[in-house]
Amino acid sequence: MRHGRSADWDRHSRPLWAETAREPPPDCPPLAGAARADVAVIGAGYAGLGTAIHLADRGASVTVLEAEQPGSGASGRNGGQVIPGLRHFRRDLDAVYGAARGERLYAFGAGTADAVWRLVDRFAIACDPIRTGWIQAAHGGASLAESERRVAAWRRFGAPVEMLDRDAMRRLTGAAGYVGGWIDRRGGSVQPLAYARGLARGALGLGVRIHCGSRVTALERGAAGWTCRTAQGAVTAERVVVATTAYSDGLVPGLAASFVAVQSFQIATAPLSGEQRRRILPQGQCVSDMRNLLRYFRVDRDHRLVVGGRGTQTPARGPGSFGHQRLMLDKLYPELRGTALPHAWGGFVAVTPGRWPRLHEPAPGLIIPMGCNGKGVAWASAFGRVLADLALGGAERDMPLPIEPIARIPFPGLRRFYSAAATAYYRFQDARG
């Protein structure tokens, strides 16, 4: 099953990013007939487009096949927060991967936000970049103690981070209910759909062929390499990168059963008044908190407040589907209670077991990244270089992640039950602070 196509969402939602993107949709006609490439990339999101750019930089011929338009999935529907690093501490990485790989993965994560800013600058992407930092807000004593541990860990690595007490948090965010937290100056935000479109424009300028409206319906391995078939043509390539993440379907056996597709919903207010803007995120940082069922929020270039968080178990069916986000807004900013919400939309995030990122190669030359787990803008942008290295014959030992087999979640038909049970458990954990 393909999760949450844009057409399904847009009947019941009004995405802000589609209305405010300054980068126009790129010209990428559907595939027609047979073609050949060194590497075929399936999916024109951040990971797929970043891979194509790095491959083209090294002289490879690349064809990208996209079912809809660049950024139609998670890359054009997320909150646009550029968050460096992984959610795991270094000791966790060492325990799972060993010290050498753990060090490499931690260092890779440290540079993911910088990868976004480099791509924005390189292609002069009109995506409203804001680089004033990312704030992680603590809602209780336990999360504040975790903030202190994270700041200490990143300071040992030399990152520009600092703790925020209750007063500093209130001053920088204007939000109610937080006891403190920390700020990472490497982070920031972008207009996510414009960023995806800008990456596509940059890739096209390097000679990458991008075909939209070209859903891959079959993936076959033969003597000539891999063949990606669409309704109107086929691309044969030595290697294929499948970069569909939460929007994966049955194209690769077992892939769609290896994660839980979690819905994330967002709402946006009308532009705030000047007085409101002076109180609400006056320096433009983006914020997500430390709840398992997190809240994330920021302002866009036109001073709209955008608030997001966990969506319903079923696709949006109208304004009532966004009641939880409305409640989030009211708790964060009581002064905005009752304000109009002209925009509401949603999309899917792939949550992998343990929220670990994954790298798969189920057959020679078939490469699959999985599991950004909420840090996709920075992680997927940076991981394109890794995928390009691997596609051009790079050794696994040099990659930040090992190649692992695709592991199906037990009883994948119960994934909605897993999601509901996890939500209840996390709500209990979050109540403890």
pLDDT score at 416: 57
**Cα–Cα distances in angstroms (integers) from residue 59 to residues 206, 226, 235, 393, in the given order:** 9, 20, 18, 14
Residue 237 lies in a domain: yes
Q: DSSP assignment, residue 362?
A: E
pLDDT, mean of residues 259-275: 93
135-152 pLDDT tens trace: 999 999 999 999 999 999
Asked if 88 and 194 touch (Cβ cutoff 8 Å), the reply is no
- Considering the entire predicted model, what is its pTM? 0.93
Read off the pLDDT band of 178 (50, 70, 90).
very high
Q: What is the count of structural domains for the chain? A: 1
Residue 431 lies in a domain: no
Residue 429 lies in a domain: no
Q: DSSP assignment, residue 70?
A: T
21-38 pLDDT tens trace: 999 999 999 999 999 999
pLDDT score at 312: 76
- 3-state DSSP call for residue 87? coil
Residue 314, pLDDT > 90, answer no
Domain that holds residue 316: 6-417
Q: How far apart are the first and last CA of the chain?
A: 37
| φ/ψ of residue 88, rounded to 5 | -95, 145
52-108 pLDDT tens trace: 999 999 999 999 999 999 999 999 999 999 999 998 999 999 999 999 999 999 999
Read off the pLDDT band of 2 (50, 70, 90).
very low
**Least confident segment among 41-50, 177-186, 423-432:** 423-432
CATH number, domain with residue 184 = 3.50.50.60
pLDDT, mean of residues 335-353: 92
- Within 10 A of 407 (CB to CB), how many other CB atoms are there? 14
Residue 131 lies in a domain: yes
Sequence-separated contacts (24+) of 145-154 with Cβ below 8 Å:
146/290, 147/180, 147/181, 147/182, 147/290, 148/182, 149/89, 150/89, 150/182, 151/182, 153/89, 153/90, 154/85, 154/110, 154/184
Residue 117 lies in a domain: yes
pLDDT score at 375: 86
pLDDT score at 152: 97
pLDDT score at 175: 97
358-415 pLDDT tens trace: 999 999 999 999 988 778 899 999 999 999 999 999 999 999 999 999 998 875 555 5
Tell me whether strands 81-82 and 33-42 are parallel, antiparallel or unpaired. unpaired
Percentage above 70 pLDDT, the chain: 91
pLDDT score at 316: 75
pLDDT score at 409: 83
Summary mean pLDDT of the chain? 91
Residue 192, pLDDT > 90, answer yes
Residue 426 lies in a domain: no
- 3-state DSSP call for residue 433? coil
Residue 1 lies in a domain: no
